[in-house]
Amino acid sequence: MKRLGIVWFRDDLRLHDNETLAWAHMNNDYVIHIYCFDPRQITAKTYKCDFVKTDKYRLKFLIETIEDLNTSLINKGSGLLTYRDTPENVLTQLIEQFKNIFEITIAFQQQVTQEETDVEKTIRQLTIDNTIHVKEFWTLTLYHPDDLPYNNPKAFPDVYTQLRVALEKQGVRVRRLINIPDTFKPLPDGIISTPVPKLSDYGYSNETIHTNSVFTLQGGESSGLTHLHNYIWNKNLIKSYKETRNSLTGPENSTKFSPWLSNGSLSPRKIFFEIKKYENEQNIHDAGYWIIFELLWRDFFKFIAMKYGTRLFYGRGLKLEPYIWKHDLKPFEAWRTGNTGIPFVDANMREIMATGWMSNRGRQNVASFLTKDLGIDWRYGAVWFESILIDHDVCSNYGNWIYVAGVGTDPRENRHFNVVKQGFDYDPNGIFVRIWCPELARLPNEYIQTPWLAPAHILKEAGLELGVNYPRPIIIVPQWNQQFQNRRKSIQNQHHTQQRGINFYFKNHEKR
């Protein structure tokens, strides 16, 4: 009996460095590739606030990715079958169709969070019930969990620095890239091709990219590899990443790799080895250190999810004691829609609403504002990000939210971002604020982050009436006004002594 491999694509939507795909084509006579637009992950509602799980921006990027993957597979003599159904239903039908003709193996990528692992359990049981084989592969991270210097996930450190130091001290290596066969095995007879769904199938119009968006690239492995090559080789942006990564404007100030990493159309190991190749050929040691540093953060949150499981989604996060959050929807909606009256927060929230993108600097600030200044349940913010972000990754998103909210792995749980100081530090001339809050366009730079402190004649000259054409602040933290006064004094003295980057205050009002 000939062998049939069924490759179930998940968050590994690429040909390069894909161990699941390589194994299937080296060990079977025929191979079927499937992808499921699982309604539980696309159109279902989030477990808080009832947002659609995958909104139009990420869905558009995903559809483009699947179209690209299908084209790549067709060029290899095969193709991709897509379904708007659950993997359990689709695989059951394929098994029933072919189990008396072939020896079947289902091959897929392992994941770590419960919704995904519950599906895996069902698929394993399906293979047992039908006496067929299953093959699972770990392709999510830069470092393979089997190579980590820990005996089991429970021994994994809760602090990022401990992981980074352990990897460096023990010389743990990133595994080599997986080579894909030059020729792919054919599809079996009896396969009926299926069309890739369109945005309109989900009730969305063909979205055009916002003119102010800093992320304008299409989804798909081909686009991701081209972007990687351009970023590192053609534009040499790797050299300036450390200095520009916190910028709020401009498409090239950060890598923008995350949308491809999130659905697996770009391998983290591919990025790593491309960086190492650049460093060797340019003879620039550690040129890409800070990019790899961020890739390791992505690994860290994956391994934290392995260690703690569903606690990643608890209101109290990883803490053992209860944590009391507010659940007031009125200030939450002001936050979500960018109408808090705090320009730096509003600009970031309007950007994500209009484009599906927000800088890492912005994400940390708006998360801190929601949880630390408003005291609102961090999960409300996390599910909004899950819905709207073009680069949503469940482990990174929820891991970062509990980190900022003080119920995760931050060793300084009382850390508080001073959003006014952050605004003055990272948008001192108000360029970013004016893009997304055009009603503030005529306000002088001195007041661009704190319009509530502007004198009446300044507001009038700027055509601004608080509470009418721009909201009054829904909260004012004393440190914000103090920050404004400190900045004014330092400017008047022509001697700005505050260090850029000291952006926190703590519950006991210590400054660190």
CA 217 to chain CA centroid, nearest Å: 16
The answer to the question of whether 255 is labelled as a binding residue is: yes
65 marked as part of a ligand binding site: no
Pair (135, 161) in one structural domain: no
**pLDDT at position 212, please?**
95
Q: How far apart are CA 384 and CA 334, in angstroms?
A: 13
Quick check: is 183 in a domain?
no
Q: Are residues 332 and 273 in the same domain?
A: no
Q: Mean pLDDT throughout 188-192?
A: 94
H or E segment at 350? helix 343-355
The answer to whether residues 76 and 172 belong to one domain is no
The pLDDT tens digits for 239-280 are 999 999 999 999 999 999 999 999 999 999 999 999 999 999
pLDDT of residue 511: 30
Residue 393 assigned as binding residue: yes
Residue 444: exposure state from Cβ atoms within 10 A (0-12, 13-18, ≥19): exposed
The answer to whether 98 is annotated as binding is no
Whether residue 305 is found in the same domain as residue 332: no
pLDDT in tens, 318-337: 999 999 999 999 999 999 99
As given in the structure block, the two tokens for residue 337 are 């829609």
298 assigned to a ligand binding site: yes
Q: Please indicate if the annotation marks 184 as binding a ligand.
A: no
Asked if 84 and 128 sit in the same domain, the reply is yes
- Assess if residue 360 is contained within a domain: yes
Q: Give per-residue pLDDT as tens, 25-56.
A: 999 999 999 999 999 999 999 999 999 999 99
Domain boundary among 254, 275, 309: 309
Q: Specify the DSSP class assigned to residue 169.
A: H
497, part of any domain = no
- How far CA 80 is from CA of 119, 179, 188, 261, in Å, comes to 21, 20, 13, 20
| CA–CA separation, 290 and 246 (whole Å) | 12
**Is 254 marked as binding a ligand?**
yes
What angle in degrees, to the nearest 10, is found between the helix axes of 419-426 and 360-368? 160
Question: Can you give the pLDDT at residue 492?
Answer: 72
In a domain, residue 205? The reply is: no
How high is the pLDDT of residue 79? 96
Q: Does residue 410 or residue 230 have the better pLDDT?
A: 230
CATH number at residue 4: 3.40.50.620
Tell me the pTM.
0.95
415 appears as a binding residue in the annotation: no
pLDDT of residue 413: 62
For the sheet containing 103-109, what is the strand order?
81-83, 30-36, 3-8, 103-109, 133-137
- Compute, in degrees rounded to 10, the torsion defined by CA atoms 98, 100, 105, 111: 60
pLDDT of residue 494: 58
User: Quick one: pLDDT band at residue 396, thresholds 50, 70, 90?
Assistant: very high
Angstrom distances, CA of residue 147 to CA of 113, 153, 167, 175, 252: 20, 12, 10, 9, 33
- Does residue 43 belong to any structural domain of this protein? yes
Residue 59 lies in a domain: yes
Mean per-residue pLDDT, 439-454: 97
State yes or no: 296 annotated in a binding site.
Answer: yes
Share of the chain above pLDDT 90, in %: 89
Instruction: Identify whether the C-beta of residue 450 lies closer than 8 Å to the C-beta of residue 484.
Output: yes
Which domain does 60 fall in, by range?
Answer: 1-139
Query: Binding site annotation covers 29?
Result: no
The Cα–Cα gap between 364 and 397 comes to: 11
32 beta partners? 6
Binding site annotation covers 300? Answer: yes
498 domain-assigned: no
Based on the fold, state whether residues 261 and 274 are members of the same structural domain: yes
Residue 496 has pLDDT above 70, yes or no: no
Q: Read off φ and ψ for residue 100, nearest 5 degrees.
A: -90, 0
Residues 303 and 378 in one domain: no
Q: Quick one: 474 and 349 in the same domain?
A: yes
Give the tens place of pLDDT for each residue, 203-247: 998 777 899 999 999 999 999 999 999 999 999 999 999 999 999
Does one domain contain both 321 and 441?
yes
Q: Is 68 marked as binding a ligand? A: no
Q: Answer yes or no: is 182 a known binding residue.
A: no
Q: Where are the beta strands (DSSP E) in 294-414?
A: none
pLDDT per position as a tens digit, 458-479: 999 999 999 999 999 999 999 9
Q: Does 4 count as an annotated binding residue? A: no
Report d(CA 240, CA 248) in Å as an integer.
15
Cα 44 to Cα 54: distance, rounded to the nearest angstrom:
8
In the chain, the percentage of residues whose pLDDT exceeds 70 is 96
Whether 505 maps to a domain, the answer reads no
| Domain C-terminal end among 309, 332, 356 | 309
Largest CA distance in the chain: 86
| Same domain for 384 and 366 | yes
Q: Which residue has 């995904």 as its token pair?
A: 116
Confidence of residue 403 (pLDDT cuts 50, 70, 90): very high
Greater confidence, 157 or 490? 157
Question: Tokens in use for 163?
Answer: 């992981």
Closest-CA residue to 246 (of 106, 428, 471, 386): 428
pLDDT band at 15 (very low <50, low <70, confident <90, very high): very high
Pairing label, strands 3-8, 30-36:
parallel
pLDDT at residue 415, rounded to an integer: 82
Q: Is 392 annotated as a binding residue?
A: yes
One domain for residues 256 and 268: yes
Per-residue confidence (pLDDT) for residue 498, from 0 to 100: 47
Task: Identify the three-state secondary structure at position 133.
Answer: strand
pLDDT 10s digits, 146-173: 999 998 889 999 999 999 999 999 999 9
What is the token pair recorded at 372? Answer: 């630390």
Give the separation between CA 404 and CA 416, rounded to whole angstroms: 8
318 annotated to bind ligand: no
CATH number of the domain to which 477 belongs:
1.10.579.10
> Which of 270, 289, 309 lies at the terminal end of a domain, its last residue?
309
**3-class state of residue 164 by DSSP:** helix
Q: How many domains does the chain fold into?
A: 3
Assess whether 350 and 385 both reside in one domain: yes
pLDDT at 489: 82
pLDDT, residue 153, reads 87
Query: Is 55 annotated as belonging to a binding site?
Result: no
pLDDT band at 490 (very low <50, low <70, confident <90, very high): confident
Residue 507 binned pLDDT confidence (cut-offs 50, 70, 90): very low
Q: How far is CA 55 from CA 87, 95, 199, 360, in A?
A: 21, 32, 10, 20
